[in-house]
Chain A
Amino acid sequence: MWVIREQIGLTGTKFGCGVALCGACSVHLNGEVVRSCSIPIANIKATDRIVTIEGLSPASSHPVQKARADLDVPQCGYCQSGQIMAAAALLRKKPTPTDQDIDEAMTNICRCGTYQSIRAAVHRAAQATAAPAAPRKPAA
C-alpha cells in the first residue's frame, strides 16, 4: 500500500488500519481483491498485475462506479475506493450476487455507515451488467 501511495503516487488506495482488517487499501492482484497493506512488495512477482481504483475503468465507467454515483452512495468517501474494488471483484466472480454473497464478500469497514446503499449499489451494478439496456430502477 505505501509503495502504491507514496512511491507510485496513486492515493486513491487508502490507509485505514495497516493490518488487513478494514479493506480501505483493497486493490486487485491478478483479478482477486487483496488488502494491499499486508502484501510486502517483495512478494510481488514481475508477472503480477495490480489494478488500483484509478485503473478500474476510464472515466468512472465501471458498472460498480456508475451505480455508486447514481445512488449517491459515498458519504465521506474515504472507504469507497476499497469498497468499489471489493464489489468489482465480487461481480466478476458472481455476476448476480445474492444478499448473502454480498454479506460475505463486502467486509470492508465504512464508519459513515453507507452499508445499506452499498448493498443496493452492488445489486444495481449487477443488473446493469446483466441487462445494460434495462430501464433505470429508482434509487433504493
Chain B
Amino acid sequence: MKKLSRQALINDSRRQFLVGSAAVAGGGLAVGLPFGWGDTQAQSAAGASPLEVNAWVVIKPDDNCVIRIARSEMGQGTRTGLAQLVAEELECDWKKVPTEYPTPGESHARKRVWGEFSTGGSRGIRISHDYVRRGGAAARIILIQAAASQWKVPADQLTVSNGVITHAASKRSTTYGKVAAAAAKLTPPDPASITLRDPKLWKVAGKPLKRLDTAGKVNGSQMYSIDLKLPGMLHAAVKDCPVFGGTLKSFDAAKIAGRPGVQRVFAIKNRTVVVVADTWWHAKSALDALPIEWDGGSNATRSSATIDAHLKEGLTAAEAYAGRDEGNTLKAIEGAAKKIEAVYSTPFLAHVCMEPMNCTARVSADRAEVRVPTQNGEASHAAMSEESGLPLDKCEVYKQDLDGGFGRRGGNQDFTRMAIAIAKEFPGTPIKMIWSREEDIAHDFYRPVSQCRLAAGLDESDKLVGLHLRVSGQSINAFQNPALIKDGKDDRQLQGYWAKPGDAQLGYSVPNLLIEYAMRNSHVPVGTWRGVNTNQNGVYMECFMDEIARAAGKDPLEFRRALMQSHPKHLAVLNAAAERAGWGKPLPVGVHRGIAQFMGYGSYSATVAEVSVSPQGAVKVHRMVFALDYGHAVNPDQIAAQVEGSAAYGLSATFHEEIIIKDGRVETANFHNYPVMRLAEMPKVETVIVPSFDFWGGVGEPTICVVGPAVLNAIYAATGKPVRSLPVRNVKLV
C-alpha cells in the first residue's frame, strides 16, 4: 500500500473523496474526533449522581428518564426489551428514554447493585425481568411520594402517566423531572413489597415497539470497540501459535526492521507474537512479513480424522454416563418387532462474529482500563484484574455495543487478557488490539464436535417401546469449568434430553429410555455457540424421530403427537407450527415438508420447513414456520427478528459450516473455506408466538435447535435418504 499522510488524504478528499464531503472538508463528523473512554453512552454511572432515583433510573430535569442496562446489547434487542420492562413500571414517557450501561467497576464498588452483567444463555431478560421491573416500580413510587410531600396530599390520591404526576382534586400536575431531586433523597420502598403490573395489562412491555438503537446503525455513526480512537493510541496485530497448546520457537525481527510505523515486535506468554505500530494496517502488514517458527508439540499430529476416531470409539465403549435410564431399554429394543439404528455426527463450528475479536487497553502502575465488546462485563473485569495484577477497584471496563457475540464473548476473556498483556508493555499508552479474520477463526472456542448413536424398537403395532441414544463428544464443561462436572456426570452435554421440566426438557415419553454421554475430549478449545448443546442434540433426536416414524409407517407429526401427550407445552407449539404451515395440505411439485420440536433455555420451539432438492442435489429452503412459547413476550417484533436470525445462523451451520483440524491446528482460514449463509439462501420465515404467561423463557437461542432437524427431515422426505452428518454440503444427496 502506498503510504499517504493523513493531511494529504484530507486535502485530496476535498477534491476527490466524497467521504461524507461535509464531514471531511469541514472536519466535523470524523476527522480528529476521538471516540474515547466512556464518552459514547453516558457511562456516568460512576458515582451515584444527584438525579439517580435508584440504581436503574436517573431522571434529568428535562424529564428524560435514563434507564440503566447491565446486560450487553449485541443486536439481540435486550436494551430495548429491558428498557420496556423498566418503563412499564416507571410509567415514564417512552419517547424520552435514553439508556446507559453502568460499568462493572461501579457495580463492584456498589456491591453488585445491578446484579449479573452476563449476557449469554438467552438470560438477558428472563433472569432479570423481576428485579428490573421492581427497580422501575420503586422509582415510580418515590417520585409520586416526592410530589405528594410537596403538595402535602396523600400519595394514593395521585396518578401518573407518561411521567406526569397529577392530583385531580386540586388540578395540580408536575413532572418526573421536577420532583426527581426530591425523590432521590427519599428512602426507597422494599422491592419485595411492590406489586408488579399483571403482564396481561402491559402497555409498553409486550408491545412491538421499535428498537431504541437503530439510528446510528443506518448511517455508520454507531461506534463499536473496533472504532475506538484515543490520543496517542498505538495498534497491535497478533499471531498466536496456530497449534493449540503449542509454543513459539523464534521470530526474525530483523526482517521487518524499518517498516513504516512499527514500534515494537515482541512475544507474550511464549506463544503469541505481537507487532505494535502507529496504525493497525502497519502492524498487520509487518506481522504478515515476519518469519515465525512455532513448536506445535505433541498436538501437532492431531487432526479431524484422529478426533473423529476417538469419538467413534466412545459410541460403543463400555463406560458412559447415563443421564436418563428408565425401564430396561436395551432389553426392550432387543425384543422389539422392528429395530432402527443410526449414527449421526456434527462438526466443530466457529462463531465468526462480524466484528473480529478486539480490545483496547491502557495499563499504568495503578490503573487499568479496557474498552471491549463483551457479553459479560464482569468477566472482563475479573480477567483484566488477574492479568494486570491490579485489584478490581483499580480496573474499569467500558462496554461497547458489540456485534453479535453468539457465545464467543462471554466467559472466555482471552481477548481482554491478551490486550492487557500487550498494554502492560506500554505503560500509560492505550493499545488497540485487533485480530485478523484468520486469527479470529483459528483461535475460537468452538462448538464442540460430537457423534451420536441411536437405536429404537417398535412393537407389532409400531409403537415405540424403547429408545437408546448415546452422545460421544467433547465436553464444554471439561474444558471451561471442570468443577461443574460432579462424579463424572456431565449433564450439560445432554441439554434438551433432560427429564426435569423448566429448562431443556425432552418432550417425549418413552417407556424404556436410555440416554448416555461418553466424554471424548480433544486438544481443541471448545465453548458456547448459540444454542450450545441443544443445536446438536436437537438434530440427533428430531432427525431420528423421523427415521423411526418412517419405519413405523406413520406421519412424522402424528408419530410425535402420540409420544407428547404428557408434555402439553411442547405439543402446543408443535401443533401451532403445523397448523400455520398447513401440514398435510398439498405443496407445489417437488417441495417437501419437515418438522421438528425441541426445548432449550426455558422456551418451547417447533418449526416446519418447506424444502426442495433438485435432481442435481441442490437444496432450496423455501419457507420456515416457527411456533414458540417463551412464556412472556416482551417485544414481539424483536422476537421475530431473533427467530429469523437464529434461522439464518442455524441454516448456515446445517449447510455450510465446518472447522477442520489438520496438523493440530485449524485449517479453515477465512470465509472462502468457512462459507456462511448469505441472503440468496434465506427462506421466508414466519413466526407464531404462543405466550402462555406462566413462565419466562429465553429468546435468542431456543429456536436454533429446531432449524437443522426440520430442514434435514424435509430433505429426507424429498430424497428418502436420511442426512446423518453435517454440514450438508459434504453429503451427496442424490
Query: Which chain A residues have a beta carbon within 8 Å of chain B's beta carbons?
Result: 2-19, 21-22, 24, 40-42, 44, 46-58, 60, 65, 68-69, 72-81, 84, 102-104, 106-119, 139
User: Of all chain A residues, which has the CB nearest B8?
Assistant: A7
Given contacts A21-B672, A103-B680, A109-B671, contact A40 B403 (CB under 8 A): no
* Residues of B322-363 whose CB lies within 8 A of A: 352-356
Report the minimal beta-carbon distance from B17 to chain A, rounded to whole angstroms.
5
Given contacts A11-B30, A50-B18, contact A113 B354 (CB under 8 A): no
Give the chain B neighbours of A104 by CB distance below 8 A. Answer: 680
Give the chain A neighbours of B401 by CB distance below 8 A. Answer: 76-77
Give the chain A neighbours of B353 by CB distance below 8 A. Answer: 111
Give the chain A neighbours of B670 by CB distance below 8 A. Answer: 17-19, 21
User: Of all chain A residues, which has the CB nearest B406?
Assistant: A111
Give the chain A neighbours of B16 by CB distance below 8 A. Answer: 44, 46-50
Given contacts A12-B219, A111-B649, contact A18 B214 (CB under 8 A): no
Give the chain A neighbours of B32 by CB distance below 8 A. Answer: 9
Q: Is B645's CB within 8 Å of the partner chain A?
A: yes
Report the minimal beta-carbon distance from B119 to chain A, rounded to whole angstroms.
12
8 sample A-B contacts, Cβ–Cβ < 8 Å, listed by A number: A3-B9, A10-B220, A14-B354, A54-B20, A107-B679, A110-B354, A112-B648, A118-B679
Q: Is B486's CB within 8 Å of the partner chain A?
A: no
**Per-residue 0/1 for B667-694: is the Cβ within 8 Å of any A Cβ (1 yes, 0 no)?**
0001110001111101011000000000
Contact between A60 and B219, CB atoms less than 8 A apart = yes
A10-B20, A21-B672, A24-B354 are known contacts; what are 4 more A-B pairs with Cβ within 8 Å? A8-B17, A14-B224, A54-B29, A103-B679
User: Of all chain B residues, which has the CB nearest A58?
Assistant: B22
Query: Which of B71-79, B251-259, B563-571, B719-727 forms part of the interface with chain A?
Result: B71-79
Q: Top 3 A-B pairs ranked by shortest CB distance? A: A12-B220, A113-B648, A77-B217
User: Of all chain A residues, which has the CB nearest B645?
Assistant: A113
Give the chain B neighbours of A56 by CB distance below 8 A. Answer: 219
Q: Is B96's CB within 8 Å of the partner chain A?
A: no
Contact between A113 and B281, CB atoms less than 8 A apart = no
Give the chain A neighbours of B227 by CB distance below 8 A. Answer: 5, 11
In the assembled complex, the Cα of A10 lies from the Cα of B28 at a distance in Å of 11
User: Of all chain A residues, which has the CB nearest B31?
Assistant: A9
Q: Is B463's CB within 8 Å of the partner chain A?
A: no
Given contacts A11-B227, A17-B437, A111-B354, contact A116 B684 (CB under 8 A): yes
Q: Is B44's CB within 8 Å of the partner chain A?
A: no
Counted as pairs of residues, one from A and one from B, with CB atoms less than 8 Å apart, the total is 241
Give the chain A neighbours of B436 by CB distance below 8 A. Answer: 18
Contact between B24 and A113, CB atoms less than 8 A apart = no
Given contacts A15-B226, A60-B218, contact A113 B4 (CB under 8 A): no
Contact between A76 and B644, CB atoms less than 8 A apart = no
Contact between A40 and B2, CB atoms less than 8 A apart = yes
Contact between A8 and B219, CB atoms less than 8 A apart = no
Contact between A109 and B641, CB atoms less than 8 A apart = no
Given contacts A8-B31, A113-B645, contact A53 B219 (CB under 8 A): yes
User: Of all chain A residues, which has the CB nearest B402?
Assistant: A76
Give the chain A neighbours of B17 by CB distance below 8 A. Answer: 8, 49-50
**Per-residue 0/1 for B1-43: is the Cβ within 8 Å of any A Cβ (1 yes, 0 no)?**
1101110011011011111111110000111110100000000
Contact between A8 and B678, CB atoms less than 8 A apart = no
Contact between B217 and A102, CB atoms less than 8 A apart = no
In the assembled complex, the Cα of A98 lies from the Cα of B16 at a distance in Å of 33
Which residue in B31, B33, B354 is a CB contact (below 8 Å) of A109? Answer: B354
Give the chain B neighbours of A44 by CB distance below 8 A. Answer: 16
Given contacts A52-B220, A107-B679, contact A117 B641 (CB under 8 A): yes
Which residue in B22, B24, B222, B684 is a CB contact (below 8 Å) of A8? Answer: B24
Which residue in A7, A52, A75 is a CB contact (below 8 Å) of B279? Answer: A7
User: Of all chain B residues, which has the CB nearest A9?
Assistant: B30
Contact between B218 and A113, CB atoms less than 8 A apart = no
Contact between B641 and A75, CB atoms less than 8 A apart = yes
Report the minimal beta-carbon distance from B681 to chain A, rounded to whole angstroms.
8
Which residue in A8, A19, A40 is a CB contact (below 8 Å) of B19? Answer: A8
Q: Is B67's CB within 8 Å of the partner chain A?
A: no
Contact between A2 and B281, CB atoms less than 8 A apart = yes
Which residue in A48, A53, A112 is a CB contact (below 8 Å) of B645? Answer: A112
Total residues of chain B contacting the partner, CB 8 A:
83
Contact between B18 and A49, CB atoms less than 8 A apart = yes
User: Of all chain B residues, which has the CB nearest A44?
Assistant: B16
Contact between B403 and A111, CB atoms less than 8 A apart = yes
Q: Is B503's CB within 8 Å of the partner chain A?
A: no
Report the minimal beta-carbon distance from B16 to chain A, rounded to whole angstroms.
6
User: Of all chain B residues, which has the CB nearest A121?
Assistant: B218
Report the minimal beta-carbon distance from B711 to chain A, rounded to whole angstroms.
15
Which residue in A2, A6, A16, A58 is a CB contact (below 8 Å) of B354? Answer: A16
Contact between B2 and A69, CB atoms less than 8 A apart = no
Report the minimal beta-carbon distance from A72 to chain B, rounded to whole angstroms.
5
Contact between A78 and B403, CB atoms less than 8 A apart = yes
Contact between B226 and A114, CB atoms less than 8 A apart = no
Given contacts A7-B9, A69-B214, contact A51 B18 (CB under 8 A): yes
Give the chain A neighbours of B383 by CB distance below 8 A. Answer: none
Give the chain A neighbours of B279 by CB distance below 8 A. Answer: 2, 6-7
* Residues of B425-446 whose CB lies within 8 A of A: 434, 436-437
Give the chain A neighbours of B210 by CB distance below 8 A. Answer: 72
Report the minimal beta-carbon distance from A37 to chain B, rounded to whole angstroms.
10
Contact between B646 and A113, CB atoms less than 8 A apart = yes
Contact between B404 and A112, CB atoms less than 8 A apart = yes
Give the chain A neighbours of B218 by CB distance below 8 A. Answer: 60, 65, 68-69, 73-74, 80, 84
In the assembled complex, the Cα of A2 lies from the Cα of B223 at a distance in Å of 16
In the assembled complex, the Cα of A7 lies from the Cα of B6 at a distance in Å of 5
Report the minimal beta-carbon distance from B22 to chain A, rounded to whole angstroms.
7
Contact between A60 and B215, CB atoms less than 8 A apart = yes
Report the minimal beta-carbon distance from A108 to chain B, rounded to whole angstroms.
8
**Per-residue 0/1 for B627-638: is the Cβ within 8 Å of any A Cβ (1 yes, 0 no)?**
000000000010
Q: Is B577's CB within 8 Å of the partner chain A?
A: no
Q: Is B280's CB within 8 Å of the partner chain A?
A: yes
Give the chain A neighbours of B13 by CB distance below 8 A. Answer: 8
Contact between A77 and B216, CB atoms less than 8 A apart = yes
Most buried by B among A14, A19, A48, A54: A54
Give the chain B neighbours of A3 by CB distance below 8 A. Answer: 1, 4, 9, 281
In the assembled complex, the Cα of A115 lies from the Cα of B683 at a distance in Å of 9
Given contacts A74-B214, A111-B676, contact A54 B684 (CB under 8 A): no
Q: Is B647's CB within 8 Å of the partner chain A?
A: yes
Contact between A52 and B20, CB atoms less than 8 A apart = yes
Contact between B680 and A42, CB atoms less than 8 A apart = no
User: Of all chain A residues, which has the CB nearest B227?
Assistant: A11
Contact between A8 and B30, CB atoms less than 8 A apart = yes
In the assembled complex, the Cα of A7 lies from the Cα of B354 at a distance in Å of 22
Give the chain A neighbours of B211 by CB distance below 8 A. Answer: 72, 74
Report the minimal beta-carbon distance from A38 to chain B, rounded to whole angstroms.
11
User: Of all chain B residues, which has the CB nearest A50?
Assistant: B17
Most buried by B among A55, A75, A76, A139: A76
Which residue in B33, B221, B229 is a CB contact (below 8 Å) of A12? Answer: B221
* Residues of B639-657 whose CB lies within 8 A of A: 641, 644-649, 652
Contact between A76 and B404, CB atoms less than 8 A apart = yes
Contact between A76 and B671, CB atoms less than 8 A apart = no
In the assembled complex, the Cα of A115 lies from the Cα of B679 at a distance in Å of 5
Give the chain B neighbours of A40 by CB distance below 8 A. Answer: 1-2
In the assembled complex, the Cα of A73 lies from the Cα of B211 at a distance in Å of 10
In the assembled complex, the Cα of A140 lies from the Cα of B352 at a distance in Å of 28
Give the chain B neighbours of A80 by CB distance below 8 A. Answer: 217-218
* Residues of B270-314 whose CB lies within 8 A of A: 279-281
Give the chain A neighbours of B217 by CB distance below 8 A. Answer: 68, 74, 76-77, 80
